[in-house]
Amino acid sequence: MLSIRNLHATVDGRPILKGLSLEIAAGEVHAIMGPNGSGKSTLSYVLAGRDGYEITAGEVVFKGRDLLELEPEERAGEGVFLALQYPVEIPGISNLTFLKAALNAIRSYRGEAPLDAMAFLKLSREKARLLEMDDKLLQRAVNVGFSGGEKKRNEIFQMAMLEPALAILDETDSGLDIDALKIVSAGVNRLRAPDRAILMITHYQRLLSDIVPDRVHVLADGRIVASGGKELALELEQKGYAGLGIKDNAAAA
Amino acid sequence: MARLDDSAGHYRALYDTAKAGLPGLGLDWLERLRAEAIERFAATGFPTARTEAWKYTNLQRLARTTARLAPAGRVDAARLAPWTLGDEAARLVFVNGRHDPELSRLPALPAGIEVTTLGRTLDADGDSLRDRLGRQVALDERRLAALNTAFMTDGIVLRLRAGVTVPGPIHVFHIATGDAAPFMVPPRNLILAEAGSAATVVESFVDAGGGAYWTNAVTEIAVGANADIRHVRVQAEGREAHHVGLVEVRVERAGCYRALLLSTGALVARNEYHVILDGEGAEAEIDGASLLDGRRHADATTVIEHRKPHGRSRQVFKNVVDETARAVFQGRVLVAVDAQKTNAHQLSRSLLLAPGAQADAKPELQIFADDVKCSHGSTVGALDATALFYLRSRGIDAPTARALLIEAFVTELIEDWPTGAVRDHIGAVLRSALRREPGGTGPAA
Ligand SMILES: Nc1ncnc2c1ncn2[C@@H]1O[C@H](COP(=O)(O)OP(=O)(O)O)[C@@H](O)[C@H]1O
Ligand SMILES: [Mg+2]
């Protein structure tokens, strides 16, 4: 479903991704772990199409299409979804207005009729209930005044509404307490399907015991330096990055 | 001091020819008021950039224009339709500054609510305005208001007896039309709200093909104790027009004046509010939005004087400026030595959509009391790139995402307004202006 081959990307002329390759097949869940500053968020932004990243080499093919030539909204239309590490606050636009615009834009991209107000409301109530989101949060301006955990849960709520083919979760588990983590994990697990793929960026093995990955990769200094099964996450947890011979910028910082 | 224009001489001569045709002829007090006013104007002429209060807004082009007094004009009722709001308790239409009874609607209103027009009142019952009209305008300080006073012809007179509430918004249309430009329209309104009364007044300044005319409007408002007046001004005039508007307000004990200004500018527009909180616990809220494109210029200037204790004032101004337009906000808050426990906040935020767009903000706090809470803030910036990416990453295309963010930036202003016809109307006007609908700035027909 997703092939990243020898990807090089720079920010302000500074190389961040330095030859990253990764293959994710439909139906799989992959986890990426790695020290702070290794380029995990950069990878997620490059995949979602954020401005400010220059691709200097390599390619990304998603469902047979060159992903990098698409605008961010076209990628969303094709089924790419990024749950941001730091969700953005948007004063003046309610969560539901935002989601309705998003859902119907994606439906329109796919040549589907827009959902009417009733159907949309029904769907959003149903998904909110699954994620135990307070109805009040749906009416409030997007992420404004939300706690850290509420913001992360809101990302997963959006994901549940938009039902992407490829979900990229950038440290969605950070800042969540145990209960919230359970709810979010359940939300992600519900999305698992033979025609979908999930790429989880995380620091913690904890998440991976709830959402069991098919593959675990270690990203360091802009490259995948180790790949393995779910036991790799456990090994990392026990030995640390240093134990695997990887320099941990976070520890040094 | 040499002046480049002879606006003083021009308008003095215009006054001499026009005065016999102005309403209220034969009222001594009014003749004295008009004569004093034209002299006050003639002594100084148009303000120049040398005057601090006018340093951002240049009227020299207008000053060099030899405008005549607006001739009678006619507009089609259909022209009003897009601007009409639901539930109007009354609609008064002034075409080129003169009341048009055919376009107006004045149903019977509950006792204690008197809605009339200035022209007719001056002619029929002029002395009833003797101690009220012009009382709140300092002719020596507001020279364009002095010019208005010399020529004032028509407008609304709203008198509210103690305790009455007007059952719906009163809509005052000012429409300019015709090919007789350059001409001056001098609307003059008077709102007298006795203790405990309440009303919402919506004024719309609309250009129906008036060309290079200028509006010189003055509204005097007296808000009695515990009275509650909401005052919306929709100022949407053409690319050749000038607009100078002054709203003079006095609020008594625990009274409240709330204003909302929506300006899409003109070639040059200046909307000025001068509010005196003259009783304990008096309140003022002035919010404004300027949505500007092309070469439009809009200046919102406010002066709020806190004279008594426990007063509260709040101002939020938002500008969305595109192309080479320019928005100005000047906000002065004065807190007198007696006005302890005053709470005064002011915020101006500008969104610049193009490299040539400009926004200036000049907050000014002069505080003579020591136990007060006052603040001001101002921001100028482009659309938030992170927010834009966030919306696009959810499938919303770039133009729609941009429009949503701009709309959100502006509509935050009306979040606290009570739901209903006025709020719906304001929302529609805002959205329509942001969409730049053809024919200018009116809501979709
Ligand atoms: N917008 C940016 N401007 C400058 N440097 C950036 C920017 N985004 C990321 N970087 C740098 O790129 C490197 C990788 O960052 P990031 O992808 O956020 O790492 P991670 O998510 O793995 O912690 C870091 O050194 C960071 O400082
Ligand atoms: Mg990161």
- pLDDT digits over A44-80, tens only? 999 999 999 999 999 999 999 999 999 999 999 999 9
Is the minimum distance from the CB of A12 to ligand 1 under 6 angstroms?
Answer: yes
Q: What is the pLDDT of residue A52?
A: 95
pLDDT > 70? residue A253: no
For residue A157, the surrounding DSSP H or E stretch is helix A148-162
For A161, the 3-state DSSP assignment is helix
Residues A206 and A180: beta-carbon distance below 8 Å: no
Model pLDDT, residue B441: 43
pLDDT at residue A28 tops 70: yes
A75 Cβ inside 6 Å of ligand 1: no
A51 Cβ inside 6 Å of ligand 1: no
Contacts of A103 in chain B (CB under 8 A): 395
CA–CA min distance A102, chain B (Å): 5
Out of A218-227, A244-253, B214-223, least confident range? A244-253
- How confident is the model over A142-166, as pLDDT tens digits? 999 998 889 999 999 999 999 999 9
Interface of B with A (CB under 8 A): 384-387, 389-398, 400-401, 404-405, 407-412, 415
Position A250 pLDDT exceeds 50: no
Model pTM? Answer: 0.87
Coil, strand, or helix at residue A133?
coil
DSSP state of A204: -
| Sequential pLDDT tens for chain B (445 residues) | 445 578 999 999 999 999 999 999 999 999 999 999 999 999 989 999 889 999 999 999 999 999 999 999 999 999 888 888 888 999 999 999 999 999 999 999 999 999 999 999 999 999 999 999 999 999 999 999 999 999 999 999 999 999 999 999 999 999 999 888 899 999 999 999 999 999 999 999 999 998 999 999 999 999 999 999 999 999 999 999 999 999 999 999 999 999 999 999 899 999 999 999 999 999 999 999 999 999 999 999 999 999 999 999 999 999 999 999 999 999 999 999 999 999 999 999 999 999 999 999 999 999 999 999 999 999 999 999 999 999 999 999 999 999 999 999 998 888 888 889 999 999 999 888 888 754 444 443 3
Query: Atom 13 (ligand 1): residue with closest C-alpha?
Result: A37
Closest by Cβ to A72, choosing from B387, B392, B407: B392
Residue A71: what residue type? E
> Taking residues A224-231, what's their average pLDDT?
92
The alpha carbon of residue B19 is apart from the nearest alpha carbon of chain A, in Å, by: 51
Q: Residue B427: its chain A contacts at CB < 8 A?
A: none
Query: A8, A10, A11, A201: which to mutate for ligand 1, most atoms within 8 A of CB?
Result: A11
pLDDT at B2: 41
Nearest to B191 by CA among B232, B141, B150: B232
Ligand nearest to the CA of A38: 1
Query: Whose alpha carbon is nearest atom 26 of ligand 1?
Result: A37
Say yes or no for a CB contact (<8 Å) between B405 and A90.
Answer: yes
Give me the residue from B389, B395, B407 closest to A105, CB to CB.
Answer: B395
Percent composition of chain A: helix, strand, coil (DSSP 3-state, to 5):
40, 30, 30
- Complex-level ipTM: 0.95
Query: Counting beta carbons within 10 angstroms of the beta carbon of residue B260, is it exposed (0 to 12), middle (13 to 18) or buried (19 or more)?
Result: buried
* 3-state per-residue secondary structure call for chain B: CCCCCCHHHHHHHHHHHHHHHCCCCCCHHHHHHHHHHHHHHHHHCCCCCCCHHHCCCCCHHHHCCCCEECCCCCCCHHHCHHHCCCCCCEEEEEECCEECCCCCECCCCCCCEEEEEHHHHHHHHHHHHCCCCCCCCCCCCCHHHHHHHHHCCCCEEEEECCCCECCCCEEEEEEEECCCCCEEECCEEEEEECCCCEEEEEEEEEEECCCCCEEEEEEEEEECCCCEEEEEEEEECCCCCEEEEEEEEEECCCCEEEEEEEEEEECEEEEEEEEEECCCCCEEEEEEEEEECCCCEEEEEEEEEECCCCCEEEEEEEEEECCCCEEEEEEEEEECCCCCCCEEEEEEEEEECCCCCEEEEEEEEEECCCCCEEEEEEEEECCCHHHHHHHHCCCCCHHHHHHHHHHHHHHHHHCCCCCCHHHHHHHHHHHHHHHCCCCCCCCCC
Nearest CA in chain B to A161: B394
Conformational region of residue B96, where left means phi above 0, alpha means psi within -120 to 50, and beta covers everything else: left
Confidence (pLDDT) at A251: 42
Find the helix packing angle between B421-435 and B398-411, rounded to 10°.
Answer: 140
